[in-house]
């Protein structure tokens, strides 16, 4: 569910007409709904209601906008971060360090020091060399780092290959078969407090079976580790729950169904559970608003050329991802069309042969379910400025990231002295 609805024939977000935002800010622009964010947090939390004190750490990589993070902080969420930059963003937005988990395969010594300085809740380690480095860094600061090993359970998540993270050939975690050996070595590192186990097998999962298979392996590992004398107190079950993009496809499992499965599988685990939802919190809470530049007739279907491009919303080009494309003021006719952007790449294509509202030059369209992995993956290809972002709350709205002028992009470069003449 989201709060993008049609009122008197025109789309609005909560109580704000989308056309009013486009007229004031220009297009393309990302638009986020506070009511949808709030609802999704409540639904996810309710799904885990029978668990004792779970840590729900929002995956900052999904949407790191400061206003979005501040909204989630006020709702009591923690943060899952994968860089020093995301850590600082989360803290600046009001998320307490003791609710922050640091994941990722490439943590540097500088990032480790930063996280230790702030006193984060847990590092999710991805390799034995990382464990050795973190121990050395922690000792140099007179600290012990709270850690879990991320386990690679060799489970196929059944998602797109580029967002699958739990198979043996993926770069993430340590092999399940090597876990006991790795934990034994980590226990001997004086700068580490080995407190947990972590797993995350992929993103946009539409089936609970792979998750249950991975969690079952984690449960067996926790029992084996505790039998071996390890004081395992946390289990981070990651994120990955999918959201509906294509209304023609079956909906992914609900948070309630996910919660039921988690409670059943983990009912005897003597640990605090942790979760890293991202897309399921922010995906449907955002839309990319764009204006049609022109429509040109193709060999078969017309090309609807919009002012948004692959640099604004990369997912269709990178993952062949599907986004529902809706006219902000539909005229009542539908036809097949190709929706493309202005960037000089054939890959700058949002949809081919899509059955959609008939639109004309100047009309507004909305790319739905764009709140996750949208603005955060945007770039400046073709010297296009970064996309602005707007947050709506009821009848109020604000620009929460402005569109930088192209002069700022040019000013970021410098010409060396030998070219100045």
Q: How far is CA 17 from CA 13, 20, 213, 328, in A?
A: 6, 5, 45, 9
Q: Among all residues, which ones are annotated catalytic?
A: 344
For residue 365 the two structure tokens come to 């369209």
57 and 80 Cβ atoms separated by less than 8 Å: yes
Helix (H) or strand (E) holding 234: strand 234-236
Distance of CA 130 to the CA centre of its chain: 24
204 and 163 Cβ atoms separated by less than 8 Å: yes
**CA 60/CA 355 separation, integer angstroms:** 34
Distance of CA 83 to the CA centre of its chain: 14
Write the CB contacts of 240 (distance below 8 Å, at least 6 apart in sequence).
157, 159, 200, 201, 202, 203, 204, 205, 211
Angle at 311 between CA 281 and CA 279, to 5 degrees: 10
Pairing of strands 272-275, 234-236: parallel
């Amino acid at each position: 569910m989201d709060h993008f609805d049609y009122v008197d024939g025109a789309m609005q977000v909560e109580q704000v007409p989308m056309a009013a935002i486009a007229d004031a800010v220009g297009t393309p622009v990302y638009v986020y709904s506070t009511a949808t964010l709030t609802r999704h947090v409540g639904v996810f939390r309710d799904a885990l209601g029978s668990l004792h004190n779970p840590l729900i750490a929002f995956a900052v990589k999904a949407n790191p906008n400061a206003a979005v993070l501040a909204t989630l902080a006020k709702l009591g969420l923690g943060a899952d971060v994968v860089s020093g930059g995301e850590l600082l963003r989360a803290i600046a937005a009001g998320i307490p360090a003791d609710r922050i988990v640091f994941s990722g395969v490439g943590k540097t010594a500088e990032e480790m020091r930063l996280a230790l300085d702030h006193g984060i809740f847990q590092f999710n380690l991805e390799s034995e060399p990382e464990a050795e480095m973190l121990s050395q860094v922690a000792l140099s600061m007179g600290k012990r780092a709270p850690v879990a090993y991320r386990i690679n359970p060799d489970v196929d998540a059944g998602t797109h290959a580029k967002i699958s993270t739990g198979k043996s050939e993926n770069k993430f975690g340590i092999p399940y078969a090597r876990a006991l050996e790795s934990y034994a070595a980590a226990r001997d590192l004086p700068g580490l407090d080995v407190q947990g186990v972590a797993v995350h097998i992929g993103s946009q999962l539409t089936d609970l079976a792979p998750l249950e298979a991975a969690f079952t392996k984690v449960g067996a590992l926790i029992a084996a580790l505790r039998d071996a004398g390890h004081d395992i107190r946390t289990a981070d079950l990651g994120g990955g729950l999918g959201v509906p993009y294509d209304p023609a496809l079956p909906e992914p499992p609900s948070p309630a169904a996910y919660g039921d499965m988690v409670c059943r599988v983990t009912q005897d685990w003597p640990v605090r559970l942790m979760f890293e939802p991202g897309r399921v919190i922010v995906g449907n809470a955002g839309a990319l608003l764009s204006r049609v530049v022109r429509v040109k007739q193709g060999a078969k279907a017309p090309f609807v050329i919009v002012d948004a491009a692959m640099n604004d919303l990369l997912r269709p080009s990178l993952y062949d991802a599907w986004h529902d494309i809706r006219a902000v003021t539909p005229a009542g006719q539908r036809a097949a069309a190709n929706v493309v952007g202005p960037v000089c790449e054939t890959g700058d294509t949002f949809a081919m042969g899509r059955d959609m509202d008939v639109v004309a030059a100047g009309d507004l369209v909305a790319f739905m379910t764009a709140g996750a992995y949208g603005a955060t993956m945007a770039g400046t290809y073709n010297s296009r400025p970064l996309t602005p972002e707007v947050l709506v709350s009821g009848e109020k709205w604000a620009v929460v990231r402005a569109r930088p002028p192209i002069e700022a992009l040019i000013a970021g470069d410098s010409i060396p002295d030998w070219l100045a003449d």
